[in-house]
Chain A
Amino acid sequence: MIGVGQPLRRKRTLEWIDSDLSPDEDSKPADNSMDSDLELLNVFKSNETKPEIIEMKDWCEEFKPESSSELVGNKKQINDLNKFLKYCLSRAAPSILHLSGPPGCGKSTALRVLGNELEMDLVEWNSPTAVVTNTDIDEDDPITYTEGQLKTFQLFLINNKYSSYSETSLELHPDELHFKFSITKSHTAPRDRKKLLIVKDIPNVILRTPSLMQEVLRLYHTRGRHVLAFVVPSSHESSDPYWKLFSRELLGEFGIASICFNAVHNTGMSKVISRVMLQKTNRVDDLLLDEVLAASTGDLRFALNTLHFYLFNSTNLSCINILNKKKLTKRVKKNATSLSSYKPVPPVPVYSSIKNHPLSSLHAIGKVLHAKRKPWRSKDVPASLPSHLSHHTREELQYQPDHVFETSTLSSDLFLSFLHCNLPEYSIDINELTIACNYLSQSDILSPLSSRLHYIPSHYSPYVASIGISHSLTQCVSSKFTINGPIDRQIRENISGNQSLLIEIARETNQYETNHIRLATDLLSYHQLLPNLHNSNRLQQLVSCYKLHERRFISRDFPSLIAQPSNFSTVNVTSPNSSEEEDQSLIVEDFPEYENW
């Protein structure tokens, strides 16, 4: 923190919180946080009594891309989206899209730009705000309220228009349910134009009872005509309603295409930021650029807002300041969440490979495994520890290990997997590694995925790992800078695949052995005996399949199991692994899938 700016900033913070928590914000649609950011900025400005600054425009609006060529972000994913939309245009049946990604990666922007380019009508759903005022929520009679909101939503899906709602047979009083929607293109479109229905904030009702979603979608499936896109931000908290909402089964049942955007990669970010800087200040401040980049972790909206703020503030910048800001906003947002129980806390797509991870998270892993320490300076050598603890003496860390996890965008589960996967390569001493492994094992016990029955302070889990590991590894591997993606998931898939195979074999072979584990450890473990097991063709097939995929024990190579190490410094976040030849119809099923375990 910089001394001069401190009091002011604290004051701002207070107001920030106030404005965000004011009751009228409660119902604010989730993804409109950019507007609220703008408001916040305005608040500051008015407080700072700097009348010469009149500019009140949101830079996110000002610099929003107008054509697909201007879109930054993962080219492949944008391409996928484009292909999907084209595919939707080509068919009459309704299609549903589930678009997710971290906040500020340009989901809605991409949808808007592409939709416009393909000449679709964009209709956006906004949850009825008027009903959500406190007086209307009658606690004793939640049903009417619920039904009202649900009906409105259903009407929106079928008729896409406010006007048609009065014609429907469903009896609703107009003044009881206001809902607004916006048609971005105002000119009257020809009848046959496809509409793109964008749902950014899913009605509370559905969030509360996810089973309603099925009902709604079924309705849409039979009566809808257009393209329905759910835009869902993803974050790294596991208790999110969206994850439950868009379960794998649901996606499968309704053939929902699922596209997951990655956070904007650094090149794209810096392109945009420097363009903005150039336009606003006529020069590119590299220092500022770097720090904005570092602070925003792929959130373009946040980057622009930060930039906006700092260019006007023109105080000395420091990374810490921005980082603190980021944390602050996070916290404020969280508070708002708990109040309105509305702000979406969405799913963590579990990435199987490193390509999908923003560089910043890999940096975080690197910082833990390869903790840089400040060399001793003679004056600040701390009082030496008592002799029995002296082996714990370490130089001061350059980064706070607990901040490292916060700045990474990984879920704690994934964070642990990453650490685990790369740990042995970053250690040269087995004794240190032992201690580090022990910490890792401790943190797994704390992890929220572990015992669900007992109360465990699960939020400590990643901190135990990061602090423990950076403490225990003292001898840095100097030349090593690769981070491998965790392969837990392949392993789990392998296990479950083999399990079902074994269950099937069990079913075929032997009526006494229903237990597949026993099958694996006893009956099938004698390869000499496998030929004797075949008493039916089907079984023969299964067992040979099992032999093919299974028993690689004796051979020494594990071809598919170990992820190819990729170089840390050259990790290409975009990496368009060109798959142009994909059949259109395949897209629906083949989009990056979600699995959370």
Chain B
Amino acid sequence: MSLWVDKYRPTQLHKLDYHHALSSQLKRLVDSGDFPHLLFFGPSGAGKKTRIMCTLREMYGVGVERLRIENINIQTPSNKKIELTTINSNHHIEFNPSDAGIYDRVVVQEVLKNIAQMHTLDTGSQRGFKVVVLNEVDKLTREAQHSLRRTMEKYSSNCRLILCCNSTGKVISPIRSRCLGIRVPAPSHEEISRILHYVCKKEGVVLPTELSGRIAEMSRRNLRRALLMVEACRVQQHPMSPEQSIPLPDWEQYIKQTADLILMEQSPKQLLEVRSRVYELMAHVIPADVIMKYLLEELVKSCDGSMKAEVITAAAEFEHRIHLGSKPIFHIEAFVAKFMSMYKRFLEEGLGNLQDIEMDF
């Protein structure tokens, strides 16, 4: 039994539910017999991966869907062994180079080299090349990206790369210029609710239109999340009602509670409490910048205009420091403390002129 997200994932280009123009472009590329390196980009949950798999399927047929998971070991020049999980079919290999951390450069080079060499052995494949799917290229280090561009040229005769990332901003321009960029925008609210209805119909459950609209709204145009939400709703209550509450991911709820704590009391003691909660989140592998982002979202709701700008500036600054420093907790905490003192001042000023107290929350 698998989740609806996986169960109803389209596997063929013509079955994709939205971005039809894009699908036909991809089809044309495949039909032309050869294609350049591709760079899929777009926000998460927009369907990049689904489109990549569909493209591969279009190219190689069902063989691509016979996936197997392999662990490969790679030795770095400094004799450190790295284990990497790859997902392979006969025609492609997919992996996440950023899993290797600072050794991503070595991993990319080695894997590509292996594939290029292996390929010369099996000449019977349908196409003249194998496809390597690299995820999260935007998380690659600069060095890895630079070496990638060299590697792309070197092995272009027998393998093609499909790169996948959330934002092209962090991909160096030489790589961007070597790839055909394919932007996958997030589905619109209407598209999401259409898909939700389709899935629910297949599952034989009734989805109230109002609920689907709210889910689409809350999913932030992330289809994956929308499908998870609708399934969670279904588990929570059957049959679903239009006004039922939509469950949030538990960590998001937790961040919400944390934000409430911050708004409740601004004191060093409260900061300690917040710290333990942030630690808790981090221990659950929620990335620090995500914590920061959601915390900001919650906190900003309770500020008035000019303070909003201040809070956002502070958040942007400390979020930047997370990436520069080595201890994310320091920076999240510094932000929380800063917010606390700003908010306290705001409250005190509010108390100062009680007559025209106006808080928009």
- List, in ascending order, chain B residues with CB within 8 A of A551's CB: 250, 284
Q: How far is the CB of A293 from chain B (nearest CB, A)?
A: 33
A527: nearest chain-B partner, CB-CB: B250
Interface residue? B191 (CB, 8 A) = no
Query: Interface size of B by Cβ–Cβ distance < 8 Å?
Result: 70
Pairs across A and B, CB under 8 Å, 14 listed = A417-B327, A420-B333, A428-B268, A438-B334, A441-B330, A444-B321, A450-B325, A488-B327, A498-B284, A512-B50, A514-B135, A521-B251, A526-B231, A529-B228
Given the contacts A487-B279, A529-B231, A514 and B94 also touching, CB distance less than 8 Å: yes
Task: Return the contact of A526 from the options B44, B79, B249, B285 (Cβ within 8 A).
Answer: B249
Interface residue? B154 (CB, 8 A) = no
Chain A 517-539: CB-based contact to B (< 8 A → 1; otherwise 0): 11011110111110111110000
B344: nearest chain-A partner, CB-CB: A430
A211: nearest chain-B partner, CB-CB: B79
A525–B341 CB distance below 8 A: no
- List, in ascending order, chain A residues with CB within 8 A of B228's CB: 522-523, 526, 529
Q: How far is the CB of B193 from chain A (nearest CB, A)?
A: 19
Given the contacts A437-B337, A498-B284, A523-B228, A444 and B330 also touching, CB distance less than 8 Å: yes
A516–B324 CB distance below 8 A: no
B274: nearest chain-A partner, CB-CB: A424
Interface residue? A434 (CB, 8 A) = yes
A515–B287 CB distance below 8 A: no
Within the assembled complex, what's the spacing in Å between the Cα atoms of A535 and B290?
Answer: 29
B326–A517 CB distance below 8 A: no
A450–B324 CB distance below 8 A: yes
Within the assembled complex, what's the spacing in Å between the Cα atoms of A75 and B272?
Answer: 35
Interface residue? A445 (CB, 8 A) = yes
A-B pairs, 3 with minimum CB distance: A525-B249, A437-B334, A494-B283
- List, in ascending order, chain B residues with CB within 8 A of A491's CB: 279, 282-283, 329
A426: nearest chain-B partner, CB-CB: B268
- Number of A-B pairs, beta carbon distance below 8 Å: 187
Interface residue? A511 (CB, 8 A) = yes
Interface residue? B72 (CB, 8 A) = no
Task: Return the contact of A447 from the options B135, B250, B271, B325 (Cβ within 8 A).
Answer: B325
- List, in ascending order, chain B residues with CB within 8 A of A278's CB: none
- List, in ascending order, chain A residues with CB within 8 A of B99's CB: 514
- Interface of chain B, helix or strand or loop or mixed? helix
A425, A515, A529, A534: most-surrounded residue (chain B CB, <10 A): A529
Chain B 179-208: CB-based contact to A (< 8 A → 1; otherwise 0): 000000000000000000000000000000
A433–B249 CB distance below 8 A: no
Interface residue? B85 (CB, 8 A) = yes
Interface residue? A172 (CB, 8 A) = no
A433–B325 CB distance below 8 A: no
Interface residue? B137 (CB, 8 A) = no
A456: nearest chain-B partner, CB-CB: B324
Task: Return the contact of A437 from the options B95, B281, B326, B330 (Cβ within 8 A).
Answer: B330
Interface residue? B25 (CB, 8 A) = no
Within the assembled complex, what's the spacing in Å between the Cα atoms of A517 and B3?
Answer: 18
B3–A434 CB distance below 8 A: no
Interface residue? A17 (CB, 8 A) = no
B268–A525 CB distance below 8 A: no
Give the interface size bracket for A toward B: 35 or more
B333–A445 CB distance below 8 A: no
B1–A495 CB distance below 8 A: no
Interface residue? A54 (CB, 8 A) = no
Task: Return the contact of B69 from the options A450, A507, A526 (Cβ within 8 A).
Answer: A507
Interface residue? A306 (CB, 8 A) = no
Within the assembled complex, what's the spacing in Å between the Cα atoms of A533 and B326?
Answer: 35
Q: How far is the CB of A493 from chain B (nearest CB, A)?
A: 9
Interface residue? A552 (CB, 8 A) = yes
B3–A533 CB distance below 8 A: yes
Task: Return the contact of A514 from the options B95, B276, B287, B340 (Cβ within 8 A).
Answer: B95
Interface residue? A561 (CB, 8 A) = yes
Give chain B's interface residues, CB within 8 Å of chain A: 1-3, 5-6, 9, 44, 49-50, 53, 67, 69, 79, 85, 87, 94-96, 99, 135-136, 224-225, 228-229, 231-232, 235-236, 247, 249-254, 266-269, 271-272, 275-276, 279-287, 290, 318, 321, 324-327, 329-331, 333-334, 337-338, 340-341, 344
B49–A512 CB distance below 8 A: yes
- List, in ascending order, chain B residues with CB within 8 A of A527's CB: 250
Interface residue? A502 (CB, 8 A) = yes
Within the assembled complex, what's the spacing in Å between the Cα atoms of A480 and B350?
Answer: 33
Interface residue? A451 (CB, 8 A) = yes
- List, in ascending order, chain B residues with CB within 8 A of A525's CB: 249-252
Task: Return the contact of A515 from the options B96, B252, B276 (Cβ within 8 A).
Answer: B96
A526–B135 CB distance below 8 A: no
Q: How far is the CB of A289 from chain B (nearest CB, A)?
A: 38
Within the assembled complex, what's the spacing in Å between the Cα atoms of A522 and B229?
Answer: 10
Within the assembled complex, what's the spacing in Å between the Cα atoms of A430 and B275?
Answer: 14
Within the assembled complex, what's the spacing in Å between the Cα atoms of A166 and B280?
Answer: 63
- List, in ascending order, chain A residues with CB within 8 A of B324's CB: 445, 450-451
Within the assembled complex, what's the spacing in Å between the Cα atoms of A518 and B99?
Answer: 13
Chain A 254-292: CB-based contact to B (< 8 A → 1; otherwise 0): 000000000000000000000000000000000000000
A522–B224 CB distance below 8 A: yes
B334–A434 CB distance below 8 A: yes
- List, in ascending order, chain A residues with CB within 8 A of B325's CB: 441, 444-445, 447, 450
Within the assembled complex, what's the spacing in Å between the Cα atoms of A429 and B2?
Answer: 52
A437–B231 CB distance below 8 A: no
Within the assembled complex, what's the spacing in Å between the Cα atoms of A236 and B51?
Answer: 52
- List, in ascending order, chain A residues with CB within 8 A of B333's CB: 420, 437, 440-441
Q: List A531-562 residues whose CB lies under 8 Å from chain B.
A: 531-535, 550-554, 558, 561-562
- List, in ascending order, chain B residues with CB within 8 A of A444's CB: 321, 325-327, 330-331
Q: How far is the CB of A498 from chain B (nearest CB, A)?
A: 5
Within the assembled complex, what's the spacing in Å between the Cα atoms of A110 and B290?
Answer: 51
Within the assembled complex, what's the spacing in Å between the Cα atoms of A526 and B226?
Answer: 12
- List, in ascending order, chain B residues with CB within 8 A of A409's CB: none
Interface residue? A449 (CB, 8 A) = yes
Q: How far is the CB of B8 from chain A (nearest CB, A)?
A: 13
Within the assembled complex, what's the spacing in Å between the Cα atoms of A516 and B85?
Answer: 12
Interface residue? A133 (CB, 8 A) = no
- List, in ascending order, chain B residues with CB within 8 A of A433's CB: 268, 271, 337, 341
A433, A488, A495, A527: most-surrounded residue (chain B CB, <10 A): A433
Task: Return the contact of B235 from the options A494, A521, A532 (Cβ within 8 A).
Answer: A532
Given the contacts A451-B324, A510-B2, A526-B232, A517 and B287 also touching, CB distance less than 8 Å: yes
B52: nearest chain-A partner, CB-CB: A512
